Amino acid sequence: MSAPSVSFEFFPPKSLEASFRLWDTVQSLAPLDPRFVSVTYGAGGTTRELTRDAVATLHNSSGLNVAAHLTCVEATKEETLAIAQDFAKAGVREIVALRGDPPKGAANFEPHPGGFTDSCELISALADTGDFTIRVGAYPEKHPDAADQQANIDWLKRKLDAGASEAITQFFFEADTFFRFRDDCTKAGIEAPIIPGILPIENWSGTRRFAQACGATIPDWLSDAFDKAQRDDREELLAIAVATELCSTLIDGGVEHLHFYTLNRPDLTRDICHALGVTPKAELRHVA
């Protein structure tokens, strides 16, 4: 098994303490030589300035290739494109382009008057600028808004055809879920790389809630294993074992790149990467 390339997702910090935690996380994971790191854009557009500042600071001070997330929520087209231009001016040339979730309390996504009506419109507008490499979200277990899996995949194809070059998936817990989705995407004529999104389980009850909200299946064996691990205080060990096994199976199945949802905590992601043979660059240099 050859070591995959990796990327890491962070969220923008909302306090001084959170800024230090993010910086510690970046310093801990940077030696693993990520192909890119990405910074989320808060639900409902709530972290617009924080995302812009975190993206610019990471770009200027970490030396990493930074991708900024951007959604269509709560902004006109002009406002959204102005944020994209701020990223470009700061030297950031990669965007993860998303429709975004409805604001809290709203059941369905409603475009802002004067805003992009869906992710394809945003992707086309960003592609027209010629300034960005664009990635998009993908949903192996179907997005809750998609009528069925075929509609889910047809829409992903439209997003890629609109100007995106790669897709990053929602998290999932069984490799077959990803392989089935990848096969279906290939059958639908999708040629762009689909990058599996991996969520190391930092907190079991939080993960359950998160999975329920976004429609990710929690297999019974995983539930049983975490219930037992909680009793024995071995959740961290189990989290590393489960994610390492998932990633190894994905790599054996031809996956070359893994995207980790770090939740701004480095330890599990770093240990999983080490177990997969993703070694700190400094160590590699030393060995060579």
Q: Regarding beta strands 257-261 and 94-98, do their DSSP bridges make them parallel or antiparallel, or are they unpaired?
A: unpaired
Q: What is the DSSP letter of 46?
A: T
Residues in region 53-82 near ligand FAD by CB under 6 A: 69, 71
The answer to the question of residue 127 lying near ligand FAD (CB under 6 A) is: no
The answer to the question of residue 99 lying near ligand FAD (CB under 6 A) is: yes
Rounded to 10 degrees, the C-alpha dihedral 26/28/29/33 comes to 100
Report DSSP letters for 11-22, one per residue.
---SSHHHHHHH
Catalogue the active-site residues: 9
Distance CA 67, CA 72 (A): 17
Residues in region 147-206 near ligand FAD by CB under 6 A: 151-152, 155, 168, 170, 197
The answer to the question of residue 87 lying near ligand FAD (CB under 6 A) is: no
The answer to the question of residue 137 lying near ligand FAD (CB under 6 A) is: yes
The answer to the question of residue 100 lying near ligand FAD (CB under 6 A) is: yes
Distance CA 65, CA 171 (A): 22
Token pair 């975004």 is found at 100
Q: Minimal distance in Å, beta carbon 151 to ligand FAD?
A: 5
Q: What is the DSSP letter of 101?
A: P
# chain residues binding ligand FAD, by CB under 6 A: 23
Token pair 């972290």 is found at 47
Using the rule CB under 6 A, give the single segment among 20-28, 144-152, 215-223, 263-271 that binds ligand FAD. Answer: 144-152
Q: Compare residues 36 and 41 and give the one whose CB is closer to ligand FAD.
A: 41
The answer to the question of residue 36 lying near ligand FAD (CB under 6 A) is: no
Please name the amino acid found at residue 7. Answer: S
Rounded to 10 degrees, the C-alpha dihedral 74/78/82/88 comes to 110
Residues that bind ligand FAD (CB under 6 A): 40-41, 43, 69, 71, 96, 98-101, 118-119, 137, 139, 143, 145-146, 151-152, 155, 168, 170, 197
